[in-house]
Amino acid sequence: MTAPAGSLLAAEGLRKAYGPTVALDGAEFSIHPGEVVAVMGPSGSGKSTLLHCLAGIVTPDAGSILYDGRDLATMNDAQRSALRRSEFGFVFQFGQLVPELTCVENVALPLRLNGTSRKRAEQTALDWMRRLEVDDLAKKRPGEVSGGQGQRVAVARALVTSPRVVFADEPTGALDSLNGERVMELLTEAARSASTAVVLVTHEARVAAYSDREIVVRDGKSRDMERVV
Amino acid sequence: MSIGHTLLGLLESGPRHGYDLKRAFDEKFGHDRPLHYGQVYSTMSRLLKHGLVEVDGIEAGDGPERKRYAITEAGITDVERWLGTPEKPEPYLQSTLYTKVVLALLTHRDAADILDTQRAEHLRSMRILTDRKRKGDLADQLICDHALFHLEADLRWLELTAARLDKLRQAVVSP
């Protein structure tokens, strides 16, 4: 495939079935640096599978995914894993913070896994926690902070490596409106200022309203609404 | 929004000239649609006729004379009644969209397409409001939130209808 001009991550003809269930049936996608794209659609439409394929977590049965000109299918597991660690960031519905670590250790974790010294990793982590307005929680453990705070810590962790793409799967799904909006504001502001692209899976219109454009997935097929309207 | 009741409410804090009323209205409620002077004066003459306001004083100047209006007891009661009465929810948008969807099904057009296009249009409005909210003060935020929640309610209806298109087709197409 040829990626759309200027795109950082692009996919076409993605197919993925789990047994008899077809999750993706020819889905397409593309995103530019610094762009926030919402992936919308009803439950079971294939939007999370699309995100997992784009992030190299799931291998599609057919179709191709180009990241920065490189075909994900030509990479081995170790290369894909390195990509996820250094160039991608992840935020899930439930923060998935490591309960035994303090918040600052959680945020610093991706840097530590990349070989950064503890001191430097935690310093960078604190900088990001400050931007996400949770630096006062540095020494607390995830169990001691609220859902909204924990999610902001998770966003700081996703951004700490200055990734080029953040994959956010229902990042506000477990939060009330006010906390959800704050998380979205901080996530999109931080991402845009760092030219980080955000792939945002959500079924909530208020969350999607923080994106630049949306792609609708239905029955495993995608529809780029920008090209339609 | 009832302009008459809003102007009456603004008069409760003390008598004002028509111009002051317009300014207060625009500042507090007229972000999207500032009042025309004509609207203010026609509304005030209606309120005068119904005894809800009275002329508190007249100033002569170079231009036309300026009336200062004050709210009456009947006006205060009217504001109170208005504030205590819930607004009728407006289902007009859904009924227009419903008509479009049903017509699309009846004429074998792509109804999902209509819903997708409408969703994109709603989201476009929501993005503008979200942006205005982010840059605005608390008043802006609350006004935008109200509009956002309404758009979101429409969107939930769109999603639900999209999920039920097959059933709806059966219901409307077969006799």
Please report, for the domain that includes residue B43, its CATH number. 1.10.10.10
Record: contact B117-A209, CB cut-off 8 A: no
- Domain containing residue B48: 3-84
Same domain, B99 and B144: yes
Same domain, B96 and B169: yes
Q: Does B29 lie in the same domain as B65?
A: yes
Phi and psi at A85, nearest 5°, equal -75, -40
Nearest residue to A208 via CA among A43, A89, A8, A41 = A41
Question: Three-class SS of residue B107?
Answer: coil
Average pLDDT, rounded, for chain A:
91
Mark which of B84, B105, B127 sits at the end of a domain.
Answer: B84
Q: Please indicate if any CB of chain B lies within 8 Å of the CB of A44.
A: no
- CB-based contacts of A14, cutoff 8 Å, min separation 6: A24, A26, A27, A28, A29, A50, A53, A60, A62, A63, A65
**C-alpha angle B7/B84/A178, rounded to 5°?**
90
Nearest to B126 among A42, A206, A216 (CB): A206
Residue window 136-155, chain B: list those with CB within 8 Å of chain A: 148, 151-152, 155
In a 10 Å sphere around its CB, with 0-12 CB exposed, 13-18 middle and 19+ buried, how is residue A161 labelled? buried
- Cβ distance A211 to B121 less than 8 Å, yes or no, reads no
> Is the same domain home to B107 and B52?
no
First to last CA, chain A: 25
- Most B CBs within 10 Å: which of A186, A202, A216, as the mutation test of the B interface? A216
Mark whether B48 and B27 lie in a shared domain: yes
pLDDT at A49: 94
Q: Which of A99-108, A201-210, B53-62 tops mean pLDDT?
A: A99-108
Q: Structural domain tally of chain B?
A: 2
- In chain B, positions 90-129, which contact chain A (CB-CB < 8 Å)? 112, 116-117, 119-124, 126-127, 129
Q: Residue A205: its chain B contacts at CB < 8 A? A: 119, 122-123, 126, 151-152, 155-156
Would the ipTM clear 0.90, i.e. be above it? no
B89 pLDDT tier (thresholds 50, 70, 90): low
For residues A171 and A188, what is the distance between their CA atoms, to the nearest angstrom? 12
**Residue B30 pLDDT > 60:** yes
- The residue with tokens 């030219």 is A195
With contact defined as beta carbons under 8 Å apart, do A149 and A155 qualify?
Answer: no
Shared domain for B159 and B111, answered yes or no, is yes
Q: Check whether residue B121 and residue B165 sit in a common domain.
A: yes
Cβ of B123 and A209 within 8 Å?
Answer: yes
Contact between A129 and A103 (Cβ < 8 Å): yes
In this predicted structure, what is the pLDDT of residue B85? Answer: 79
Q: Which helix (H) or strand (E) holds A222?
A: strand A221-224
The answer on B30 and B71 residing in a single domain is: yes
Average pLDDT over every residue of B132-146: 91
Which residue from A205, A211, A216 is facing B152, i.e. has the nearest CB? A205
pLDDT given for residue A125 in this prediction: 97
Edge-to-edge strand list for the sheet holding A21-31: A21-31, A9-18, A62-67, A70-71
Q: Return the residue in A177, A206, A214, A227 with the most chain B beta carbons within 10 A, the one to mutate for interface testing.
A: A206
Measured at the alpha carbon of residue A211, what is the angle toward residues A125 and A95, in degrees to the nearest 5? Answer: 40
